[in-house]
A and B are shown apart, each in its own frame.
Chain A
Amino acid sequence: MSKEHDKGMSLIVKVITRLTVGLILLYGIYIVLHGHVSPGGGFAGGVIIALSFVHLFLAYGKDVALKKLPKTAMSFFESMGAILFLSIALLGFTGGYFFLNFISKGEPFRLFSAGIIPLCNIAISLKVGAGLFAIFVVLVLLKFEWEKKE
């Protein structure tokens, strides 16, 4: 019973997952990058990226999913997101005060406008995505241990 549980779901779910999981990841990255032009931003995009990995985990079982994003890579991405966000904030000291918007503003409605806002969005999405996927993996692995004991 638990061996079947480890291998994932049925064949139909696996085929559909193979088609859609790349699209979900791409959609999450799109929402993060266009955070300053259309609604969305770092938080929603990060959660969507985490959801794409959760989808892979639920359909294929834990071995395949953890090979795509191993535990060391998860903790690396989360810490890197936090450090990137803090260093962008500290670099504002070159102009005067904390969190100063020091890159040029550009023209509105284009992708390369609005100073530090796209960079901050990318850093936050890394942090939120990796953190939430780590929470999910740890909670499900605890349940797998219980099922092996019974």
Chain B
Amino acid sequence: MIELYVLLIFMIIGAIVAIEMKDLLSSVIAVGAVGLGLSIVLLILKAPDVAITQLVVEILCLIILIRATLKKDLPFSTTGRWLLNSLITTGFIVVFLFVAIKAFKDLPEFGYPIMRVANTYLKEGLVKTGASNLVASVILDFRAYDTLGEATVLFTAVIGVLAIIRRIGRKKKDEVVEEDDE
């Protein structure tokens, strides 16, 4: 289990580097490193489906972010009321940590989960659905409504992006109206 702790500490250091860097391109690359570390941790925790999905989704997210921030980074500085803002934020995070640690005492110990429903899925998954990959049988047969909801959310997000970027009917003095519809 020691590799789990080492990788988690690597992810935390990567997140701190991503927050504190002034250059935008370097912060995006540091977030990419955090995502790759997360993919390896998921593999150690015996979840190969989730690890594959996390890896490819994180690569696409990096590509979209780098395309948006290229040539646009501006250095900035924090001015005015810096001490008060920092104190309030740190106070809020300390209260949040305290309440969360009290809530963690009710969780079962790490490595011994209570699997009330999942035992049924593990025992009867192969007989009832015929699939060898039990995670696929859970998302597409036992819990197919969630997958339908997820497809709807993805569809709505694509429509939302197309609606924001689209540019119809905006005419300034010398500007040509560009109809960019799909």
Contacts and interface: CB of A to CB of B under 8 A. Distances in A.
Given A121-B140, A124-B147, A114 B155 contact: no
Interface in B131-182: 131-133, 135-137, 139-141, 144-145, 147-148, 151, 154-155, 157-158, 161-162, 165, 178, 180, 182
Contacts of A38: 133
B21 interface: no
Interface in B32-59: 48-49, 52-53, 56-57, 59
Contacts of B68: 139, 143
Contacts of B136: 35-36, 41, 117, 121
B158 A134 contact: yes
A61 to B, nearest CB: 14
Contact of A82 (B59, B137, B145, B151): B151
Contact of A44 (B53, B67, B131, B140): B53
A131 B64 contact: no
A139 B53 CA distance: 23
Contacts of B100: none
Contacts of A36: 131-133, 136-137
Nearest to B144: A99
A71 interface: yes
Contact of B53 (A43, A75, A124, A143): A43
Contacts of B126: 108
Given A71-B182, A139-B68, A114 B129 contact: yes
A78 B151 contact: no
Name the prevailing secondary structure of the A interface residues. helix
Nearest to B139: A41
A39 B52 contact: yes
B35 to A, nearest CB: 14
Interface SS majority for chain B:
helix
Interface residues of B, number: 40
A39 B135 CA distance: 8
A99 B144 CA distance: 7
Contacts of B74: none
A27 B9 CA distance: 33
Nearest to B57: A47
Nearest to B67: A140
B137 A117 contact: yes
Interface of A: 31, 35-41, 43-44, 47-48, 50-51, 54, 58, 71, 74-75, 78, 82, 85-86, 89, 99, 101, 105-109, 113-117, 120-121, 124, 127-128, 131-132, 134-136, 138-143, 145
Interface of B: 48-49, 52-53, 56-57, 59-60, 63-64, 67-68, 70, 126, 129-133, 135-137, 139-141, 144-145, 147-148, 151, 154-155, 157-158, 161-162, 165, 178, 180, 182
Q: Lowest 4 CB-CB distances: which A-B pairs, in order? A: A105-B130, A114-B131, A39-B48, A36-B131
29 contacts: A35-B133, A35-B136, A36-B131, A36-B133, A38-B133, A39-B135, A44-B52, A48-B56, A50-B60, A51-B60, A54-B63, A71-B182, A99-B145, A105-B129, A107-B130, A114-B130, A117-B137, A117-B141, A121-B140, A127-B155, A134-B182, A135-B158, A136-B63, A138-B161, A138-B165, A139-B68, A140-B67, A142-B165, A145-B178
